[in-house]
Chain A
Amino acid sequence: MENLKDGDFTAQAESILQRYPREQRFALAMMQDFQKEYDYLPREAIRRIAGYLEVPPGKIYSLATFYKAISMEKKGKYIIKVCDGTACHIRSSTWIIEEIGKLLGIKPGGTSADGRFSLETVKCLGTCALAPVMVINDEYFGSLTVGKVKKILQRYGGRADEE
């Protein structure tokens, strides 16, 4: 929460809210903007959106928990999205997910203890020709095998260590 200093957050929150008219239909877009800024949706943001739209916070909370695009947990520095769309699934994505989980000690949906990696599964990245495929932040890795995964993660581990 270190980047959520009161003054900064208020200014940032205001600038996001002011992008939209006070209509409930923009609630999801506001949450998405907050998430873009902080990589997750801080609880305080729900209160601010509710205040701005003059609706009970519970209403915004129900949206936040319904839509998968919104995460209320802070994510790792590297977000690993392993595709488990049908094409990837029948090309053994299950094994890829398991291997990453084993290597990092986390389950899908979780973040590693050092806060470096988050593991997610997604249903189809639309790049089925590369199946099985994963994305780490914005970088794609296709035609994965269990062996390849280890090497790719080592690269990210190395990179993070150097910093």
Chain B
Amino acid sequence: MKSEQSQKRKILVCCGPGCLAVGGREILQELRTKVAEAGADIKVEPVIKGTGCHGLCEQGPIVRFLPEDISYCRVNLADIDEIISQTVLQQKVVERLLFTDALTGRRVSSQSENSFYKKQLKIALRNTGEIDPLNLDDYLERDGYRALAKVFSQMDPGAVIAEVEQSGLRGRGGAGFPTGLKWRQCARVDNFPKYVICNADEGDPGAFMDRSIIEGDPHSVIEGMVIGAYAVKAHRGFIYIRDEYALAVKTMLEAIRQAEARGYLGRNILDSGFDFSLEVVRGGGAFVCGESSALMASIEGRVGEPRAKYIRSVERGLWDQPTVLNNVETWANIPPIILRGGEWFNRIGSEKSKGTKVFSLVGKVKNTGLVEVPMGISLRELIFDIGGGILNDREFKAVQTGGPSGGCIPADMLDLKVDFDSLAAADSMMGSGGMIVMDERTCMVDTARYYIDFLTEESCGKCSPCREGLKRMREILNDICSGSSRPGDIEILEEIAGMVRESSLCGLGKTAPNPILSTIKYFRDEYDEHVNKKRCPAGICRELTTFIINSEECNGCGLCKKNCPAEAISGESKAPHVIDLSRCTKCGNCIELCRFNAITVK
């Protein structure tokens, strides 16, 4: 019976955010219907599940067959009949639906052959994409709640903390504070009640790791939190989820309900005598609430403004009581650490950054998606081996890490090891794990302006260095991008940036100048060109851009002409084309489309 169970065929349909947006849900429904219709003819009925994210969002919707381990990408409703007749009924592979490996250019049928997955090591994402997030039995089948059972039967709170300390786990929310130490500091305080909080207010643009974990494997977060609560003797916990993540809220609420019904939450958990209840709090759409003290204010029902950090939240946090706050990914790492031991975790990663880190690899990279890699992997491996390189094989320019508080790392530092300390040494930061790849068509001044714009909007306004400093920096950057800057502006920018960094109240303000400082440091030429020559070399800043077609390179294919929204391009077929500068809106559509590099920035 057991072996029959493990042989059972499954079809996994990815229902992560990326795949849902391109019709994952419809594919799931259609497969369910069609497999049921065909069911009479086959002996083994495949189990179809909506799973969490498979990571490779670029190729969605993704459908995976187990135990054959065949993955199809970009599946259309029109493909379903063929999938049923070939793969479901005859176990044959439909070649045209397989992944094309971005590195080798070959079609691959299983995930293990795909370069995107080869260098990955999944701990926090161990179940995401493998299980039905709304089926607790799926989680249990994969060692779910076994760490919790181990804690209750074999470990006292001190032993739990020691295990987490030994693992070397550091907070995955960005700052990298040692998790075990945080727990120990909180456990030491003799003041009750205490609270544990999960920060799921994932606000960095371009980052969706936490969302994917909650939507794909909510019980791993719950289990981690119960263990943490036991370690510091807290009996209530809160999960603060970003307002925009409606599905994550729904999934987590359902998972909590299931855990309560089966005795993993509530009174006397697993007959241990330990009580713990968990609540979901929806955020209000304020980026600053990702900052821990602002988040706690928000849970209390106040305006989400941060406070000075000389009082630490492990002593006085939520409602002024001792509080442990960790990020989603941190919590999801706890159960495997307990189950397999801190020593096992400590062997993975680099010297001071242990374990793995989940990144969302996005921007101008071929394989956009969610990846989990051991700490210490090089940027080059991440972007070129896993990411498959730059879209349209353009030139790599920079990678932005750490969200709005992070920095841009240039091409000559591609061999940098990705961990907390090396990124900080390069004037960027780990942040929550967004990794945005930029190519020659990305303007670094515009990028800095983008982040400053974001932070100006999101600054809560409580302290003046951040509130006023950001506004002034935004004005200067606007001037630089629109051609009205004056010599000396870059120096003023640096001066204000230094002041904001030194004197702001919270982490948001202190790190807000990073996008400016790191782009000035590594791309000073580009700033100078904007200010002195009034030219944007990437062709992004409109007032500083003139596109021209090089008549020697242009073969008159007409692609740019056909797609020009301003109808500014003219030319006979197979003869060089020209751009009418009076009509050109500088949208850059032509330069993106041209396959012969015939269009350049004057």
Enumerate chain A interface residues (CB-CB to B < 8 A).
23-29, 32, 62-63, 66-70, 84-87, 89-92, 95, 99, 122-131, 133, 140, 142, 145-147
Closest to A133 in B: B21
Check B589–A124 contact: CB distance below 8 A: no
Smallest CB-CB separation from B288: which chain A residue? Answer: A66
Q: Which of B31-39, B109-117, B139-147, B279-287 contacts A (4 or more CB under 8 A)?
A: B279-287
Residues of A within 8 A of B454 (CB): 123
A128 touches B206 (CB 8 A): yes
Query: Contact: B206 with A124, CB < 8 Å?
Result: yes
Chain B residues, Cβ within 8 Å of A122: 244
Tell me whether B21 and A127 are in contact (CB under 8 A).
yes
Determine whether the beta carbon of B208 is less than 8 Å from that of A126.
yes
Determine how close the nearest CB of chain B comes to the CB of A70; give it in whole angstroms.
7
Known: A68-B284, A68-B286. 9 other contacts (CB 8 A): A25-B281, A68-B243, A69-B283, A86-B451, A124-B207, A125-B21, A128-B18, A128-B360, A146-B565
Instruction: Determine the distance from Cα of A24 to Cα of B319 in the docked complex, in whole angstroms.
Output: 12
- Of B211, B302, B589, which contacts A126 at CB under 8 A? B211
What chain B residues lie within 8 Å of A99 (beta carbons)? 565
- Write 13 A-B pairs (CB below 8 A) sorted by A numbering: A23-B301, A24-B302, A28-B282, A28-B298, A28-B301, A69-B284, A89-B205, A90-B447, A91-B364, A123-B203, A130-B21, A146-B587, A146-B589
Q: How many residues of B contact A (CB 8 A)?
A: 53
A127 touching B205, Cβ below 8 Å: no
A-chain residues with CB within 8 Å of residue B207 when the two chains form the complex:
124, 126
CA distance A84 to B446 in the complex (A): 13
Report how far A92 CA is from B438 CA in the complex, Å. 12
CB-defined contacts of A91 to chain B, threshold 8 Å? 363-364
Q: Across the interface, do B563 and A128 meet the contact criterion of CB distance under 8 Å? A: no
User: Which residues, 271 to 308 on B, are CB-close (under 8 Å) to A?
Assistant: 281-287, 298-304
- Chain B residues near A140: list those with CB within 8 A: 21-22
Q: Is the CB of A127 within 8 A of B300?
A: no
CA distance A87 to B207 in the complex (A): 10
- Could you say which of A91, A99, A133, A142 has the most chain B C-beta atoms within 10 Å of its C-beta? A91
- Nearest-CB residue, chain B, relative to A28: B284
- B489 in the interface (beta carbon within 8 A): no
Specify which chain B residues have a CB less than 8 angstroms from the CB of A145 in the assembled complex.
563, 589
A62 engages B17 (CB within 8 Å): no
Which of A24, A86, A92, A126 makes the CB contact (< 8 A) with B363? A86
Of all chain A residues, the one with the shortest Cβ separation from B298 is: A28
Given the complex, which residues of B lie within 8 Å of A27, measured CB to CB?
301
Q: A28-B282, A86-B450, A91-B364 are in contact. Are A127 and B303 (CB under 8 A)?
A: no
B→A interface (CB under 8 Å)? 17-18, 21-22, 57-58, 60, 203-208, 211, 243-245, 281-287, 298-304, 360, 362-364, 368-369, 400, 434, 436, 438, 442, 447, 450-451, 454, 460, 563, 565, 587-589, 592
The smallest beta-carbon distance between A135 and chain B, in angstroms, is 8
Q: Which residue from chain B places its CB closest to the CB of A29 in the assembled complex?
A: B282
Q: Bound state CA distance, A147 and B563, in angstroms? A: 8
Whether B450 pairs with A66 at a CB distance below 8 angstroms is no
**Of A25, A89, A129, the contact of B369 (CB 8 Å cutoff):** A129
Are B243 and A128 touching (Cβ within 8 A)?
no
Chain A residue with the shortest CB-CB distance to B248: A126
Choice from B205, B301, B303 contacting A26 with Cβ under 8 Å? B301
A6-B101 Cα distance, complex, nearest whole Å? 62
Could you tell me the distance in whole angstroms from the C-beta of B92 to the nearest C-beta in chain A? 29
With both beta carbons as reference points, the residue of chain B lying nearest to A140 in the complex is identified as B21
Contacts of B302 in A (CB 8 A): 24, 63
Contact between B450 and A128, CB atoms less than 8 A apart: no
Q: Which residues of B contact A68 (CB under 8 A)?
A: 243, 284-286
Q: Is the CB of B360 within 8 A of A66?
A: no
**Closest 8 CB pairs between A and B?**
A67-B284, A85-B205, A68-B285, A126-B208, A69-B285, A128-B362, A129-B57, A25-B301
Q: B residues within 8 A CB of A133?
A: 21
Beta-carbon contact of B243 and A32 below 8 Å: yes
Task: Return the chain B residue nearest A26 by Cβ.
Answer: B301
User: Please, how many angstroms separate the alpha-carbon atoms of A161 and B322 in the complex?
Assistant: 58
- Known: A24-B301, A66-B286, A146-B589. Contact between A130 and B363, CB under 8 A? no
Give A27 to B284 CA distance when docked, in angstroms.
11
Q: Chain B contacts of A84 at CB under 8 A?
A: 205
Please judge, given known A-B contacts A23-B301, A140-B21, whether A87 and B203 are in contact too, CB under 8 Å.
no
Contact of A127 among B18, B301, B304, B436 (CB under 8 A): B18
Q: How far is the CA of A123 from the CA of B244 in the complex (A)?
A: 10
Specify which of A24, A67, A142, A146 is in contact with B286 (CB 8 Å cutoff).
A67
CB pair A142 B284 closer than 8 Å: no
A147 and B588 alpha carbons, distance in the complex (Å): 13
Contact among B282, B436, B592 for A87, CB-based, below 8 A: B436
Residues from chain A with Cβ under 8 Å of B587 in the complex:
92, 95, 146
User: Are B436 and A129 in contact, CB atoms less than 8 angstroms apart?
Assistant: no
Complex contact A90–B442 (CB within 8 A): yes
Question: Do B244 and A125 touch (CB < 8 A)?
Answer: yes
Least distance between B341 CB and chain A CB atoms (Å): 34
**In the assembly, what is the distance between CA of A83 and CA of B541, in Å?**
20
**Does B284 lie within 8 Å of A66, measured CB to CB?**
yes
A26 and B245 alpha carbons, distance in the complex (Å) = 19
B364 & A129 in contact (Cβ 8 Å cutoff) = no
Closest Cβ of chain B to A96, distance in Å, is 10
If A128-B57, A128-B363, A129-B60 touch, whether A69 touches B22 (CB-CB below 8 Å) is no
